[in-house]
Structure 1
Amino acid sequence: MPDTSHFWMPFTANRQFKSKPRMLVAASGMYYYTDDDRQILDGTAGLWCVNAGHCHPKITEAIQRQAGAMDYAPAFQMGHPLAFEAASALAEIAPAGLNRVFFCNDGSEAVDSALKIALAYHRVRGDGLRHRLIGRERGYHGVGFGGISVGGIAGNRKHFGPALPAVDHLRHPLDIARNAFTRGLPQQGAELADELEQRLLALHDPATVAAVIVEPMQGSTGVILPPAGYLQKLRAICDKYGILL
């Protein structure tokens, strides 16, 4: 057993874990293997990032091949052909109009970058009054200061002070009383999107709002599906007032 005293583990009760460690030492397909030879079904694809399965032969071979040819290429004033090929491949399968790709290391960095891009977009267009960001209750957008600010999970925010200013939140769309046994998208609750216009934009002035950020399906506080028509309503309201979604 390794010395566990130095590694400070995220989202983990460290003292409890280190008193009785649970060590994973190998993986294949949909299974992890522990240091005491148990097989564990991985029901969350690692942290939602190995959706093709662990140690897929084609992925493993591609990683090994690239590591042997070039381990890193800077993206500042230089580039690597495969980065451009990957961006083009993503643009081909993305919805119409989503044809620019900004690569990040993880979701937290992606969210903070997206928030900065949204603010800068309005500023370079001469609309610098748009500085406000709107998230949603129970939303998870990573662990950066931007992400915990627009996120709506109290436990991820309470130790870090006020975080970003000029942030507000929509109500979450979970409505168990009306949608407890719905198959597919809930049929009740699309009107919750109207809160964006009727409460938040009325309160803050839409001319000051840069962007609204929501997860299409909320996952970290329960699998909360959007009611049918909810996201379409958010899109229509944002388009009406020139707000990025």
Structure 2
Amino acid sequence: MASVAPNDLSSLWMPFTDNRYFKANPRLMVAAQDMHYTTAVGRRVLDGTAGLWCVNAGHGREPIVKAIQQQAAVLDYAPTFQLGHPLAFQLASRVAGIMPEGLDRIFFTNSGSESVDTALKIALAYWRAKGQGQRIRLIGRERGYHGTGFGGISVGGIVTNRRTFGTGLPGTDHLPHTHDPARNAFSKGQPAHGADFADRLEAMIALHGPDTIAAVIIEPVAGSTGVLVPPVGYLERLRAITAHHGILLIFDEVITGFGRIGAATAAERFGVTPDIICLAKGLTNAAVPMGAVAAARHVYDAIVDAPGDVPGIELFHGY
């Protein structure tokens, strides 16, 4: 394959990249098929991480390519506020059909970062609709990654993503991470020790008061700072604590969704159902930018059917 390289690399500002080094030592991918990339000098490279855990079905899938081409020829874009397309409703029904039972209200976004910020906004809107607008605290987890929106970096636990941008959202707190090599070295499958890390949530609830906390958000399997499988009983314990105190539980399944760990969702794989699930990546096999939030029926109904509200837009949010 002939070498393909732009004449000038200076215009593009690349994300999460040492730009000065890259411009001096560019690494360019020009094609992909199945499980391999092709570089600008014709070298085949195994895509061992499926892009960034997003090309779940492999590269260059002909049915996906044809679907994108066909839709662009019929309708490339129309406003999504107060207008719709039949396929969007069909897709929402199909996504709802593979979510855990009851999580059948789907809000589409353009990325995983937007899905996280959407889920956090839905949680805050839910409590306001329930007449508990004082519930504004959001709890994430150390080492957690929830994208790069201001909401996501606030509840996220990767400190380098936060230092440059100030304090982030007020009222956030963080559970301890579950990485415990002292007790779980050489574990196979779910670590036997660590369910007790979930009990730190009780201390946070005692500190802040349960009536101030809107939601807890975690990745069921942490991905960006090491693939950390949840300890046996950990997710179940988090679900029990949040349910007891009436706190919404959000699973960020942007990575784990759509078969990444052997089921449609990690919630299904581990048998623990949250109130809200964040999705992206495998939703479109990374062929087009798209994410989604799956919300429980009771969350949707509380916001859309809030008593006493003036008829009109129920959630002032969208992309």
Residues 142-197 of structure 1: per-residue CA shift (max 9 Å, x gap):
00000000000011111111111000000001111111111111111101101101
The normalised TM-score by structure 2 is 0.75
By how many angstroms is 1:74 displaced? 2.2
> Following superposition of structure 1 onto structure 2, how do residues 59-208 of structure 1 map, counting pairs within 5 Å?
59-197=64-202, 199-208=203-212
Write out the 4+ residue segments of structure 1 that deviate beyond 4 Å after TM superposition. none
Amino acid at match of 2:124: L
Amino acid at match of 2:29: L
Amino acid at match of 1:136: R
The higher relative CO (CA closer than 8 Å, separation ≥ 6) is in 2
Q: Work out the number of aligned pairs and report it.
A: 244
CA distance in 1, matches of 2:144, 2:181: 17
- In structure 2, what is the equivalent of residue 242 of structure 1? 246
Amino acid at match of 1:105: N
Unaligned runs of 5+ residues in structure 1 are none
SS of 1:227 mapped into structure 2: coil
Amino acid at match of 1:233: R
Amino acid at match of 2:175: L
Residue 35 of structure 2: which of 30, 35, 48 is its match? 30
- In structure 1, what is the equivalent of residue 221 of structure 2? 217
CA distance in 2, matches of 1:76, 1:129: 29
CA distance in 2, matches of 1:125, 1:24: 50
The normalised TM-score by structure 1 is 0.98
Percent identical across equivalent pairs?
Answer: 64
Amino acid at match of 2:58: G
Residues 32-82 of structure 1: per-residue CA shift (max 9 Å, x gap):
001101000111211222111111011111111111111113221111111
Residues 111-166 of structure 1: per-residue CA shift (max 9 Å, x gap):
00110110010001101110000000000000000000000001111111111100
User: Whose strand fraction is larger, Structure 1's or Structure 2's?
Assistant: 2
Unaligned runs of 5+ residues in structure 2 are 250-319
